[in-house]
Structure 1
Amino acid sequence: MPPGAIVADWSKHHPHNSYSPLFWYEDRPGVCKTCSAPFVFTKEAQRHCYEVLKFPIYAEAVRCAPCRAKVRETKRAQREHMAEMAARKPHPHEAFFRKRS
C-alpha cells in the first residue's frame, strides 16, 4: 500500500462483479472537463463516493468541486421547476392542444 493511502472497506462497496476490487484510496489528479482546471480527486472524497454514496468503483470524478456544485444546483433548479409546472393549474384549452389529428 502506498504511503498516505486509506484502506478500502470492500463490504461497503456497491456490488461490482470485478476481479480487481480497490484495496486502497489515494489522491488522483485530474482535469475538469467543464472548465479545464486541474483538480485532485482526494482519497477522502473517493471513500465517501464509493463507500457511502455507493458509486461504482470504476467511476471517476471528471469535474472539479465548483463545477460539480454548479451541476448539482442546475439539476436541483430543474427538479424544482418541473414540480412547479406539475402543480400548476392546467390551461382551460389544454385538451384541445393535446388532441391528436
Structure 2
Amino acid sequence: MKSGKQKKAEIKKSRLARIGKRDTTVDPYKYPIPEWAIPVDRSAIVYHSMYLDIPLFYIDKEFQCKDCGSSEVWTAKQQKWWYEIAKGYFETTAIRCRSCRDRRKKMRVEKKRHMEEMAKKVPHPNSAFFKNT
C-alpha cells in the first residue's frame, strides 16, 4: 500500500510526463482544437481587460512554485474549474503548489484564531477597567 506522499509524487510525475508528450507548438488561440484539450466556455469567463484575448481551449501549463521552487502542473481541468466555476479572474494563473497553498491557508487560520483570542483578552473601552483609571 502506498502512502499519500508516494501517490502525490506519482501524480506529479505523470502530469509532467503528459505535458512532455504533448505538442508544445499548439496555439490555444487558433483552430483546430486538439482532442486532448478542454474547450473554453467563453460565456462563463470573468475578465477585466479590454486587451485580453480569451483562448479557444485549455492546455496543461507547467509553472514553478513561488515559495518552494518545485515544478508543478496546472492542469486544463483545474484551469476550467478556476475560470468558469469559481469565477476566478482570467488574468490570474497558478503560482503555488498544493502543499504551499495548504501551508499558507493553515497560517491564515491560525493567525485569525490568535487575533480572536487576543480580542477576548483585551478589555472593552467602556468596561469598568477604563472608567476607574
TM-score (ref. length: structure 1): 0.76
2:58 partner amino acid: Y
1:62 partner amino acid: I
Runs of 4+ in 1 over 6 A off after TM superposition: none
> What is the alpha-carbon distance in structure 2 between the residues aligned to residue 33 and residue 6 of structure 1?
26
Give 1:34 deviation, angstroms.
0.6
Larger Rg belongs to: 2
Alignment of 1:74-93 (within 5 A): 74-86=107-119, 88-91=120-123, 92=129
Q: Deviations over 1:69-100 (max 9, x none)?
A: 111221222222223333x143435xx7xxxx
Give 1:12 deviation, angstroms.
1.7
Higher deviation after alignment, 72-81 or 45-54: 72-81
1:7 partner amino acid: P
TM-score (ref. length: structure 2): 0.60
1:32 maps to 2:65: yes
> What is the alpha-carbon distance in structure 2 between the residues aligned to residue 76 and residue 38 of structure 1?
27
Tell me the number of residue pairs that the alignment of Structure 1 and Structure 2 aligns: 93
- Match of residue 53 from structure 1: 86
Q: Which runs of 5+ in 1 are unaligned?
A: 97-101
Give 1:26 deviation, angstroms.
0.9
Kindly report the root-mean-square deviation, in angstroms, between the aligned alpha carbons of the 2 structures.
Answer: 2.0
Q: Which runs of 5+ in 2 are unaligned?
A: 1-32, 124-128
> What is the alpha-carbon distance in structure 2 between the residues aligned to residue 89 and residue 80 of structure 1?
13
Residue 63 of structure 2 aligns to a residue whose secondary structure is strand
| Overall identity of the aligned pairs, in % | 30
Relative contact order (C-alpha < 8 Å, sep 6+): which is higher?
1
